């Protein structure tokens, strides 16, 4: 049995920040790339992003996630003396972590606020659960809400709880992660291809720049600017192997004005 407070705050508090950050900040590709290739907008115009097939895939994935989120804790606590409050708290915790992992997989352009929103939701849930479960069960024995006093503190002291809340989210999101990986590597969209090509061109450009800079400063004929010697004017260059131990310029050092 999941506590009613958790159910009421699940969408309002525990999992609200990551979807907001995803909706505001996430993007398929940079704006300058879309301006360079306007044909990429055709995916939305031709309704190739959200199709009937993707709708039913998401529906089946939701059913699969709910089954995994319930039955992994159920099998972990099977034939034990766990009560309904601890079992429900374990399922609720696995559900929250599973949704955060789900959103992390669906994020296309990571920013600092994406990571902050996930961390805030994570610590907000556990912080609230610990404080709420430490509060005395004032409503115990009365009609209405009941307070699962000390439940999550006791649950976190057992290995079954951590096993369930770590395994259930990973197994529930594993098919989606595999599907997204196969889709990006074997069946990429036009936007993915354009973004990959753009990143490759940026990488090759940075590599060529580093190569040119390295060859320039590693050449035996390269020179460095010296401005500390009285006979060397600003803008003059001398061989980099020259050393000035005094105010006298060695004879083997050539100054090029």
The model's pLDDT over 102-138, given as tens digits with 9 standing for 90+, comes to 999 999 888 999 999 999 999 999 999 999 888 765 4
Domain ranges within the chain, ordered by starting residue = 4-187
Question: Tens digit of pLDDT per residue, the chain (257 long)?
Answer: 788 889 999 999 999 999 999 999 988 777 778 788 787 777 777 777 788 888 999 999 999 999 999 999 999 999 888 988 999 999 999 999 999 999 999 998 889 999 999 999 999 999 999 998 887 654 454 555 566 788 999 999 999 999 999 999 999 999 999 998 998 888 877 777 777 777 777 666 655 554 444 444 444 444 334 344 445 444 455 454 554 444 444 454 554 55
Residue 154's pLDDT is what? Answer: 92
- Collect contacts of 155-159 with beta carbons under 8 A, ≥24 apart: 155/86, 155/89, 155/90
Position 223 scores a pLDDT of 39
Residue (of 208, 223, 221, 212) closest to 255 by Cα position: 223
Q: What is the pTM of this model?
A: 0.72
Give me the pLDDT at residue 44, please.
Answer: 74
Tokens representing 238 are 């001398």
């Amino acid at each position: 049995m999941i506590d009613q407070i958790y159910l009421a705050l699940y969408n309002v508090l525990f999992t609200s920040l990551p979807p907001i950050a995803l909706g505001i900040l996430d993007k398929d590709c940079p704006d300058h790339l879309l301006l360079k290739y306007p044909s990429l907008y055709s995916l939305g115009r031709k309704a190739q992003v959200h199709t009937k097939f993707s709708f039913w895939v998401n529906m089946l994935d939701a059913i699969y996630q709910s089954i995994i989120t319930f039955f992994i804790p159920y099998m972990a606590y099977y034939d034990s003396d766990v009560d309904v409050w601890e079992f429900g708290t374990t399922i609720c915790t696995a559900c929250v972590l599973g949704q955060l992992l789900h959103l992390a997989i669906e994020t296309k352009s990571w920013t600092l606020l994406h990571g902050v929103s996930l961390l805030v939701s994570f610590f907000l849930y556990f912080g609230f659960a610990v404080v709420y479960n430490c509060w005395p069960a004032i409503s115990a024995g009365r009609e209405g809400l009941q307070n699962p006093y000390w439940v999550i503190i006791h649950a976190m002291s057992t290995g079954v709880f951590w096993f369930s809340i770590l395994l259930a989210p990973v197994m529930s999101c594993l098919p989606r992660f595999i599907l997204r990986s196969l889709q990006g590597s074997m069946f990429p969209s036009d936007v993915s291809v354009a973004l990959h090509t753009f990143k490759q061109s940026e990488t090759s450009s940075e590599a060529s720049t580093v190569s040119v800079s390295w060859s320039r400063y590693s050449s035996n004929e390269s020179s460095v600017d010296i401005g500390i010697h009285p006979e060397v004017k600003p803008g003059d260059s001398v061989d980099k192997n020259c050393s000035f131990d005094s105010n006298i310029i060695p004879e083997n050092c050539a100054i090029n004005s």
